[in-house]
Amino acid sequence: MAARHFKSHDPLLHGAPFDDHKIQNVLRTYALEAIDTFDLPKDCAVRPITISENASILLSSPKDSASWVLRIHRSNYHSQNSILSEVAWVEAIAKSTQVIVPHFRRTTNQQPVVTLASHGPRFAVLTRLIEGQHLVEPAELREFETVGAIAGELHRLSRAWRPPKGFFRFSWDLNSGIGENARWGSWRRAPLDASAYNVVERACSKLSTVLANRVGDPRHWGLIHADMRSANLLAIEQGRALIDFDDCGYSWYLYDLATAVSFFEHAPEVETWVERWIEGYQQYAQLTKDDRQAIWPLIVYRRLVLVGWSISHQTTSTAGGLDEDFLDQTVELCNRYLLSRS
């Protein structure tokens, strides 16, 4: 099956490689505007870090002990209200749990979300840099218990927290993740032959049967981080910090488990990683047999979400580093899932 090209709605963030000279200059111009908007020292050094769903830029000044991360949002991805809702959720986590999360800086008018207009209007937020080391991929075995405990504490808050009026975050459901018009692009655009396509399509059908009835069920569904892979976890002196809530939204609670093994769903060690994650999680919430039945469907679901993402984000370093083995391993994973009882 020939691949169809995903057409980005944002040529700035997806239209050219990150190291493109023009892109770098545009990001620097936005950063200089943000320095004024957030009343940062004028001598801040500007260093673009990454581009994916948004652009991240490090701002640091020798006059200020803190460094800051400016996040410039891609067009047509989040509304201002959705970003404000992310801020509300992260600040609730900081207030009500022991989980270490980013701190949002506000403008002199006490606004956490601003519109930068240097090269067309874009929403932006500024968070204090958390100094630490990213966990290795895949994370060491002992880390999965820690990650599971962090997820368990978040989900306990999610079940109890009452969002403010007007709160909105999108959902990660079957259509938005693996549908024809999936948010990150459809796996169906991958260059699969007819036999491989059939295997993945049947896996989709099987996992959809398991997951569909859990959508919206408060026992299984709520507000989650939705991208708890090791790249979004930092080892710091106080423990572990969870960053990048840009994709947080409503989904199956155990989707946070599936995201913890992102890009390694096919690995033989996953069964062991899952059990260690569950050990940590059950410090805060017990999993039933019914809960466990959704784990492998969600792991396969996550892999297919990432296949779509890899096609639509080929200019990013992560997606650009995936080779054809990634698709072969995906088909193998789907085939194993079809042969399993789960």
The per-residue pLDDT for 64 is 77
Q: What is the C-alpha to C-alpha distance for residues 188 and 3, in angstroms, rounded to an integer? A: 8
Burial of 156 from C-beta contacts in 10 A (0-12 / 13-18 / 19+): middle
Q: What is the C-alpha to C-alpha distance for residues 59 and 292, in angstroms, rounded to an integer? A: 43
315 confidence band (pLDDT: 50, 70, 90): low
267 confidence band (pLDDT: 50, 70, 90): very high
The DSSP secondary structure of 197-208, one letter per residue, reads HHHHHHHHHHHH
Averaged pLDDT for residues 106-127: 95
Q: What is the C-alpha to C-alpha distance for residues 192 and 304, in angstroms, rounded to an integer? A: 13
Sheet holding 239-242, edge to edge: 133-134, 233-236, 239-242
The average confidence (pLDDT) of the chain is 90
* 232: CB partners within 8 A, 6+ apart: 225, 242, 243, 244
Q: Which of 13-27, 95-109, 149-163, 203-217 has the lowest mean pLDDT?
A: 13-27
The per-residue pLDDT for 318 is 53
7 confidence band (pLDDT: 50, 70, 90): very low
What are φ and ψ of residue 53, in 5° steps? -75, -20
Task: Return the structure tokens found at 154.
Answer: 């978040």
Q: What is the C-alpha to C-alpha distance for residues 259 and 77, in angstroms, rounded to an integer? A: 20
The per-residue pLDDT for 236 is 93
End-to-end, the C-alpha distance of the chain in Å comes to 28
What's the chain's Rg over C-alpha atoms?
Answer: 20
pLDDT at 1 over 50: no
Domain with CATH 3.30.200.20 in the chain: 11-129
Q: What superfamily in CATH does domain 134-339 come from? A: Aminoglycoside phosphotransferase (APH), C-terminal lobe (3.90.1200.10)
Q: Which CATH architecture has domain 11-129?
A: 2-Layer Sandwich (3.30)
pLDDT at 140 over 80: no
pLDDT at 122 over 50: yes
Q: What is the C-alpha to C-alpha distance for residues 218 and 188, in angstroms, rounded to an integer? A: 31
Sheet holding 114-116, edge to edge: 45-51, 54-60, 67-73, 122-128, 114-116
The per-residue pLDDT for 50 is 85
CA atoms within 13 A on the CB side of 164: 11
pLDDT at 4 over 80: no
Amino acid at 289: K
CB 240 within 8 A of CB 263: no
pTM: 0.91
pLDDT tens for 40-62 read 999 999 999 888 778 999 999 88
Amino acid at 326: F
pLDDT tens for 245-265 read 999 999 999 999 999 999 999
Q: Which helix (H) or strand (E) holds 45?
A: strand 45-51
Domain with CATH 3.90.1200.10 in the chain: 134-339
pLDDT at 216 over 80: yes
Q: Which of 1-15, 49-63, 299-313 has the lowest mean pLDDT?
A: 1-15
Q: Which helix (H) or strand (E) holds 301?
A: helix 295-312
The per-residue pLDDT for 6 is 33
Averaged pLDDT for residues 13-40: 82
The per-residue pLDDT for 257 is 98
Other C-beta atoms within 10 Å of 37: how many?
A: 18
Percent of the chain with pLDDT over 90: 77
The per-residue pLDDT for 139 is 60
Query: Would you state the torsion angle of the CA atoms of residues 138, 140, 142, 143, taken in this order, to the nearest 10 degrees?
Result: -50
